[in-house]
Amino acid sequence: MNFQTTQPNERPIAVFDSGVGGISVLKHIHALLPNEQLLYVADSKYAPYGNKTAQEIQSRCFEIADFLIAKNAKALVVACNTATAAAIDEMRLRYNLPIIGMEPALKPAAAATKNGIIGVLATTGTLKSAQFAALLESYGRNVEVVTQACVGLVECIERGELHTRNTKSLIKQYCAPLLAESADTIVLGCTHYPFVRDVIAEIVGKEVVLIDTGAAVANQLKHRLELENMQSAQLQDALPKKPKVQFWTNSSADNAKQVISQLWGESADVLVF
């Protein structure tokens, strides 16, 4: 299934993550660019990336990018903060197509906070990255930033356990230090975390603003496609055929397709990667 087309602009956009978390970004892209064909790879066998070396993460990104480019992708979205920090510079040197990455939303959080205290929930890999350090240097000077690594939370979401007692317990544990420091704005610094946004909101209260970067990434992708004249030519008022969304996963879990469909919000076409 290579999505071959004689029209370059009708080629698909490819999105990948170290698992199912990037589906949260895919949903923003689908909403903003409803006429685009979409490909998604969930590298769940290797999730999370946070406990891997930069070289290991780069190797995974290259393998997935090669796979998606072979499927005729016109643009790549690295829907993973850790992978973006570890590999996006090398990917942009290696591949000649638009590559959009992620970064924790410290800039909008700094603009949103009223008391100057920002909390960041993220993976260990993201918090240890040079990219995060650079963001702190750029946007954290006039605010206090409290970080919290959320060990085990990605794995809960990978299993589709969004509202279980264990997941809620982990979230409560990880939010507690941020609330103890009076953070009034919390950054969801991993693409998996928007899927438990309602649980986080219930725990931290309505007064705390939650920020993720999915919508910003979709807007950046749209801007790049427009800039390079690569948007699909299908017009909504011309009643186009429904764009195809194809998923792949290398998860060994029996319920992998069920979890992907659960997070996508409808039955998903899932193949083995």
Domain boundaries, the chain: 8-102+215-272, 106-212
Residue 150 is a catalytic residue: no
Predicted pLDDT at 1: 54
For the domain bounded by 8-102+215-272, which CATH number is listed? 3.40.50.1860
Q: Is 210 within 8 Å of 201 (Cβ atoms)?
A: yes
190 catalytic per annotation = yes
pLDDT value at residue 140: 81
Tokens 């638009």 identify what position? 98
Side-chain-side CA neighbours of residue 21 (13 Å): 35
**What does the pLDDT read at residue 183?**
97
Name the nearest CA neighbour of 142 among 120, 178, 109, 190.
109
Q: Tell me, yes or no, if the two domains 8-102+215-272 and 106-212 fold the same way.
A: yes
Quick: pLDDT tens for 48-71.
888 889 999 999 999 999 999 999
- List the catalytic residue out of 61, 156, 175, 190: 190
Instruction: Note the pLDDT of residue 238.
Output: 52
Residues sharing a CB contact under 8 Å with residue 208, sequence separation 6 or more, in sequence order? 179, 183, 184, 185, 186, 201
Active-site annotation holder among 61, 80, 150, 175: 80
The CATH number, out of the four listed (3.40.50.300, 3.40.50.1860, 2.60.120.1090, 3.90.700.10), of the domain defined by the range 106-212: 3.40.50.1860
**What pLDDT score does 126 carry?**
87
The pLDDT value given to residue 2: 57
pLDDT of residue 256: 95
Residues in the chain where the model's pLDDT stays below 50: none
Q: DSSP letter at 241?
A: P
